[in-house]
Structure 1
Amino acid sequence: MDDKRAELTARNFPSAEQDAQSVPAVERYAGPGSAYRLAFTDTEFLLREELRPVRMQLELLKPELVQQEQGIESTIVIFGSARILPPEQARERFEEARAGGDARALARAETALAMSRYYDEARRFAALVTLRSRDLDTPIYVCTGGGPGIMEAGNRGAFEVDGKSIGMNIVLPHEQAPNAYITPQLCFQFHYFAMRKMHLLMRSIALVCFPGGFGTLDEMFEVMTLQQTGKIRRRPILLFGRDFWERLIDFDHLIDTGMIDADDKHLYHYVETAEQAWEVLAAEYGFDANPTTTGDYAVDI
């Protein structure tokens, strides 16, 4: 009887996967120029210029569906330089430079060693977020660009406390290999920068920016612009390292010259430590309040 009832909801047609696996090999039509392959298994066809809208749709859907399946509702995105080294590696290079006697190499290694403290802070912050949010109604997952440096530190911090984390890699001429600490089921690769940036924001409840270069600045200013113009809801933007950011960007000059409003300074907060960053988030969302007052935080853009 159960078998009969199962027929009420059974598929009427074979699935695409079943058809893809069952198509017999036909030698005459197995060559690279043959049109015999099923369209959705034909890589050559899918990579045609005219198929760009389809490829963009796939990059929209794949991360979305996988994150839904993995129960990812809210994230904290960590931006920062791929070039910032772990402290132990920075120390090793510093000692090598000191032994080499090249003054310029030593100066660069000394700077890299000083900047490596941000790797440790990103690692601690990611661990703190993962641990503190684990029992919330909506756990919060660390999300990074998936590469080395600060991105690796973020994924590593979550990994070291047995948490899941997300890596959204992109194909680049360099720095394109994913770091070793991303949850494999949540390690994505993108071709389109726009799709990657959208997915970085879609579930985010906060953006945490460590020192970085053009890529970090691009991501940070895009989020600030979207919030300033009301295209997305406001969420905390935390800038780690006041000295670095104030030397790099003179926000007061933008206000004094009328380029931004004084109220725009409320878009961001300077923090120095993982604990300070968590305090800002806890005050914003009530993370440390009674658990019954917590709930869903992220809103799709």
Structure 2
Amino acid sequence: MKQSSNKNRYFCSAADDAEVAKTAQLESSESYRLAYTDEDFLLRDDLRSVRLQLEWIKADLVQQENKIDTTVVIFGGARFPDVDRAQQSLLKAKTMLAQSPSDAHLIKQHVIATNVLKNSHYYQEARLLANKITQLSLALNGRQYVVVTGGGPGVMEAANRGASEAGGKSIGLNIVLPFEQDPNPYITPELCFQFHYFAIRKMHFLKRARGLVAFPGGFGTLDELFETLTLIQTKKVKSVPVVLVGIHYWNKLINFDFLAEQGAINQADLELFKIVDTAEEAWSYLCEFWQVEP
């Protein structure tokens, strides 16, 4: 029998028994398989509650083992790449439009590519901010203010990249999607996670968070931003600094003053977040909130 890796263990480990079970006579029988090694059983609808627990526990334990105490969450659009890639996409759109200048679809694609290029500077801003946050983390003990993103491309990639360039760790909380969600190459490998359940993933975003920065993005960014604001507003989580980067983008996208004027939120709720235009402004606001030297 395979020896347990824990010399002080009294009982035989689950791993030991799983190894023994491989040679058992009825190992091919579905009913005879060990429950925790039976993938078909674990994927049944009836086991959803167990899978929810596993997704929570796995990421939590791994972060504990890697000594991650607090984090800073950086959200942002997967579809806003760096300037070079955005320029390439616009050039491709221009070339195609030149071949069929009256094609409505190509006209629309050209407009979108033009706007994506305008927004591509947020990639560099996220990269810069994550770099600064990670330098602060390293100046402490490397366990505080660790950058965490959704793990995908675009602004998320930029933040993980900035952390990596500073020489620190960063976390990626990926989720299984039919598009956009391959993990970017800048995530610290041992802190690159994959989730099935959005709810568990969002809980992990906030469990250790000491700040949240939202760069321009789409439905996913808005979902995560408003969930955070709701939890702070209703005091389900402790107040943390929430920074929205991109004054024109956010003021054009959401009329927060309108919500207050209509009585949908309190005027005081407008103080739950800060809208700024650059990484430098976001950094200054975070440092002021955390009471650390910028």
Q: TM-score by structure 2 length? A: 0.90
Taking the aligned partners of 1:174 and 1:126, their CA distance within structure 2 comes to 25
Is residue 71 of structure 2 the alignment partner of residue 75 of structure 1?
A: yes
Q: What is the aligned length?
A: 279
Deviation of 1:217 after TM superposition, in Å, equals 0.8
Q: Counterpart of 1:251?
A: 256
Please give the secondary structure, in 1, of the residue aligned with 2:30. Answer: coil
Is residue 157 of structure 2 the alignment partner of residue 184 of structure 1?
A: no
Q: Counterpart of 2:8?
A: 10
Q: Which has the higher contact order (CA 8 A, sep 6+)?
A: 1
Is the contact made by 1:236 and 1:267 (CA closer than 8 Å) also made in structure 2?
yes
Task: Report the CA distance shift for 1:105/1:214 in structure 2 as closer, same or farther (over 3 A).
Answer: closer
Q: Counterpart of 1:239?
A: 244
Deviation of 1:131 after TM superposition, in Å, equals 1.0
Taking the aligned partners of 2:8 and 2:200, their CA distance within structure 1 comes to 36
The amino acid that maps onto 2:115 is: T
2:127 to 119, 123, 127: 123
Taking the aligned partners of 2:78 and 2:218, their CA distance within structure 1 comes to 9
Superposed CA offset, 1:21-73 (max 9, x none):
233424x6343x52222111111111122211111111111111100010101
Is residue 42 of structure 2 the alignment partner of residue 46 of structure 1?
A: yes
Percent of residue pairs identical? 49
Is residue 107 of structure 2 the alignment partner of residue 92 of structure 1?
A: no
Taking the aligned partners of 2:145 and 2:225, their CA distance within structure 1 comes to 20
* Gap regions ≥5 residues in structure 2: 1-6, 102-106
Superposed CA offset, 1:234-272 (max 9, x none):
111100001110111111111111111111111111122
- Within 5 Å, give how 1:16-55 maps onto structure 2: 16-26=14-24, 29-31=26-28, 33-55=29-51
Please give the secondary structure, in 2, of the residue aligned with 1:134. Answer: helix
Please give the secondary structure, in 2, of the residue aligned with 1:206. Answer: strand
List structure 1 segments (4+ residues) > 4 angstroms apart after TM superposition.
none
Deviation of 1:109 after TM superposition, in Å, equals 1.9
1:211 to 213, 216, 233: 216
1:280 to 271, 278, 285: 285
Please give the secondary structure, in 2, of the residue aligned with 1:169. Answer: strand
Please give the secondary structure, in 1, of the residue aligned with 2:72. Answer: strand
Is residue 151 of structure 2 the alignment partner of residue 153 of structure 1?
A: no
Is residue 111 of structure 2 the alignment partner of residue 107 of structure 1?
A: yes
Q: TM-score by structure 1 length? A: 0.88
Superposed CA offset, 1:7-31 (max 9, x none):
xx832222111222233424x6343
* Gap regions ≥5 residues in structure 1: 1-8, 290-301
Is the contact made by 1:128 and 1:274 (CA closer than 8 Å) also made in structure 2?
no
Deviation of 1:130 after TM superposition, in Å, equals 0.4
